[in-house]
Amino acid sequence: MSTISLEDVQEEQPRSYDWVALVDDLNRLLRLKTTPIGMKMFATKAEMEAIPKVRRPSAIHTTDQVVAQAARLGWTVGITNDDLVGAQCGAVIGLHPRDEAWLSGKNMAGVWFETLEDSAAHQAAMDLAPFGTFEAMAVSPLTSGRLDPPDICLIYATPGQMMILINGLQWSGYKKFEWSVVGESACADSWGRALKTGEPSLAIPCFAERRYGGVLDDELLMAMPPQYLPRAINGMKRLAGNGLRYPIAQYGIQSDARAGLAVSYSDRR
């Protein structure tokens, strides 16, 4: 049987998605607590403002707050760089240039990093969406269908849920995933990297995402282009058919493991 690699998935661009069915599958397979959302970049502010029922901020926010308004409150929110509190937020999603002042990281020196050199190294290490193409961004729950399709889907999950999601992505056309951790500004590990590379990107949400974005203490974040989502769901369904599903039932740390392993592997040894 031939398999399709994860690289091949990038070429699969369905014209439309049944978002309600996809999210229903996600919730059934993973029992998510937080609403799966989409993020989409727009070439002009006018295109973003044409989204049905889009909300525009009345205050200055971090991008974490804007993302949270979709994931935690179910809103559709659109922004430009003028709505954001600083260059760090805008640069990750390609709305602010990666200029000399930004690259210096001077605002983080002595706060997150010991020296200016450490801070500059952090800035240089971040994965960012390309600058100069887009003027606006919007986020919305996937089930709203207002960003059809979004550029990336954002899924918040516990480590156990996330492992099953990753296993689903690896069911067919296996690939070893290698992700980075930049520390503070970890949205570069998720939104920035996924927008830049077009690949699934896992992040440990940073202090700012938890303080300003309402990310829960036990949550990780996966950002992925939408064409990966049906494949991950199909993989998780196949795994569930083998008894490998969420929640993961604990077997017991002092039990004889042979009986439990035999359920999955007895006829494959």
In this structure, are residues 188 and 126 in contact, taking their beta carbons and an 8 Å threshold? yes
Residue 166, classified by CB atoms within 10 Å of its CB into exposed (0-12), middle (13-18) or buried (19+), is middle
In this structure, are residues 202 and 179 in contact, taking their beta carbons and an 8 Å threshold? yes
- pLDDT tops 80 at residue 185: yes
pLDDT reported for residue 267: 65
Mean of all residue pLDDT scores within the chain: 93
Tokens 């058919």 locate to 241
Residue 161, classified by CB atoms within 10 Å of its CB into exposed (0-12), middle (13-18) or buried (19+), is buried
b/e code 254-264 from CB counts within 10 Å (16+ = b): eeeeeeeeeee
- pLDDT tops 80 at residue 8: no
Distance CA 56, CA 223 (A): 23
Q: For the segment 188-223, what is each residue's pLDDT rounded down to a tens digit? A: 999 999 999 999 999 999 999 999 999 999 999 999
What percentage of the chain reaches a pLDDT higher than 90? Answer: 87
In this structure, are residues 191 and 152 in contact, taking their beta carbons and an 8 Å threshold? yes
Distance CA 74, CA 59 (A): 18
Q: Enumerate the β-bridge partners of residue 157.
A: 220
The first and second tokens of residue 210, run together, are 């938890």
Looking at per-residue pLDDT, the higher value among 57 and 4 belongs to: 57
pLDDT reported for residue 268: 57
Looking at per-residue pLDDT, the higher value among 16 and 51 belongs to: 51
Distance CA 124, CA 265 (A): 46
Q: For the segment 135-148, what is each residue's pLDDT rounded down to a tens digit? A: 999 999 999 999 99
**CA neighbours within 13 Å on the CB side: how many for 29?**
27
pTM over 0.95: no
pLDDT reported for residue 10: 46
Distance CA 175, CA 4 (A): 11
pLDDT-derived band at 13 (thresholds 50, 70, 90) equals: low
Proportion of the chain in helix, strand, coil states, percent, rounded to 5: 40, 15, 45
Domain boundaries, the chain: 6-247
Provide mean pLDDT across the span 160-166.
98
Provide mean pLDDT across the span 10-20.
72
Torsion of CA 58, 79, 224, 123, to 10 degrees: -100
- pLDDT tops 50 at residue 9: no
Number of CB atoms found within 10 A of residue 36's CB: 23
Give the SS3 label for residue 55: strand
Provide mean pLDDT across the span 111-137.
97
